[in-house]
Amino acid sequence: MPVLTTPAPVAPAPAGPADPLSSSLAAAQRRSRELTAAIRADPRRFRVLTGDRPTGPLHVGHLFGTLANRVTLQDLGVDVRVLIADYQTITDRDSPGTLPADVLGLVADYLAAGLDPQRCTIFAHSQVEPLNQLLIPFLSLVSVAEVARNPTVKEEFGAGGGAAMSALMFSYPVHQAADILFGHANLVPVGQDQLPHLELTRTIARRFNERYCPGRPYFPVPDALLSDAPLVLGTDGGKMSKSRGNAIALGASEDETARLIRGARTDAQRVITYQPGERPEVANLVLLAALCLGQSPEQVAGQIGARGAAALKALLTDALNERLRLLRARRRELTADPGYLHQVLADGNERARQIATQTLAEVRGMMHTAY
């Protein structure tokens, strides 16, 4: 499985070195390559914090994009903490009615994919009060203008000038800094889109250290670890997402998987090739099959050749159902035992709470607010 290898060059960003975004992306990629080597050499130096918003079941895009990588890090001996960002869902949903099921569903997906609660910590940040309390001092370390420059926040601000955006949404990147720093994480596996968030976390860590403990840095300035996983698209060739109806959930049945793949968009050319630029939909099916089979996309395309899209879809259906068989069996067992899932989460919450309690006490000491 191509995890933790050299990050693939990220597609078309034809901008000169004067473009600050592309040069910072190049720098992040370079840094990620160095980090990858450092993790292999000494996994115990690293403490990883990663997370998801509980917005529904995870799908195969998540599996190949982030989940498999988390399991690899855990298996290498890195201290991995996985955060369920439930407070971040109330920035964009009116009724939290489905949250309990979504949160437990995430725990089931994590464990089924191979995260081991004995070796990693899975928790929901709403349950970790001292983590959330860090938001207050952290908010004092950044300006409104700095937060407003964050691309996610800017997008939400949109044409309405923020009229429809909650103040919680506005503080989202600062909250994320609390998520990362409460446990002194020094490595955050992210996609490119999250780099600006992490930059703000780094700023907050630096400013806290400069202001409250000069010369004796307390918070690490965490690094982004850019994923090298190829982007898996949905069955319509767009971004895979549950809301677009183009996602194959990890927990989907074999029949459902077959149906979704049968309905996947292809093109009019008979011979199957791997040309992501010219034939994105076909290339995506080839890529998925290749990821499942541990082959190169070119090999898979070559095997199918003139047998066409129907043969490709049949191959992919079998390969994906085979790749997910064990995961799905584990997931079924886990969801049949919600008491166990609750217990895993409660244990993780408690572990996170202990860590955050100590951090908050130390922060209060440094800020002279311990009375």
Q: Contact residues for ligand TRP (CB under 6 A)?
A: 49-53, 83, 85, 88, 176, 179-180, 188
Q: How far is the CB of 261 from ligand TRP (least distance, A)?
A: 26
Q: How far is the CB of 342 from ligand TRP (least distance, A)?
A: 22
Rounding to the nearest 10 degrees, give the CA dihedral for residues 146, 152, 158, 160.
-70
**CB neighbourhood size of 5 (10 A):** 11
Looking at beta carbons only, is 169 or 285 nearer to ligand TRP? 169
Whose Cβ is closer to ligand TRP: residue 109's or residue 179's?
A: 179
CA-CA distance, 197 to 171, in Å (whole number)? 11
Instruction: Count Cβ atoms below 10 Å from residue 50 Cβ, excluding itself.
Output: 22
Q: What is the DSSP letter of 192?
A: G
Smallest gap, in angstroms, from Cβ of residue 84 to ligand TRP? Answer: 9
Quick check: 66 and 50 in contact, CB under 8 A?
yes
Token pair of 159, please? 């044409």
For the bound state, the minimum distance from the C-beta of residue 176 to ligand TRP, rounded and expressed in Å, comes to 4
Query: Which residue, 261 or 352, has its beta carbon nearer to ligand TRP?
Result: 352
Q: How far apart are CA 371 and CA 365, in angstroms?
A: 9
104: phi then psi, degrees, rounded to nearest 5: -65, -35
**Closest to 273 in 3D by CA, of 283, 265, 281:** 283
**Cβ of residue 181: shortest distance to ligand TRP, in angstroms?**
10
Q: Sheet harboring 79-84: ordered strands across?
A: 120-124, 79-84, 47-52, 187-190, 223-226
Rounded least distance, CB 296 to ligand TRP, Å? 29
Euclidean distance between the first and the last CA atom of the chain, given in angstroms as a whole number: 53
**Smallest gap, in angstroms, from Cβ of residue 301 to ligand TRP?**
32
Nearer residue to ligand TRP within complex by CB, 88 or 317: 88
Residue 67 vs 188, nearer CB to ligand TRP = 188
User: How many angstroms separate the Cα of 213 from the Cα of each of 167, 182, 297, 367?
Assistant: 30, 16, 51, 9
Assigned token pair, 175: 């909250």
CB of 85 to ligand TRP, least distance (A): 4
249 has which bridge partners?
59
CA–CA gap between residue 233 and residue 281 (Å, rounded)? 8
- In the complex, the smallest distance separating the C-beta of residue 255 from ligand TRP, rounded to whole angstroms, is 30
Q: Is the Cβ of residue 177 or residue 301 nearer to ligand TRP in the bound state?
A: 177
Query: Which helix (H) or strand (E) covers residue 80, if one does?
Result: strand 79-84
Judged by beta carbon, residue 69 or residue 176, the one nearer ligand TRP is 176
Residue number with CB closer to ligand TRP (51 or 251) = 51
The residue among 133 and 321 lying less far from ligand TRP, judged by its C-beta, is: 133
Backbone φ and ψ for 227, nearest 5 degrees, come out as -70, 140
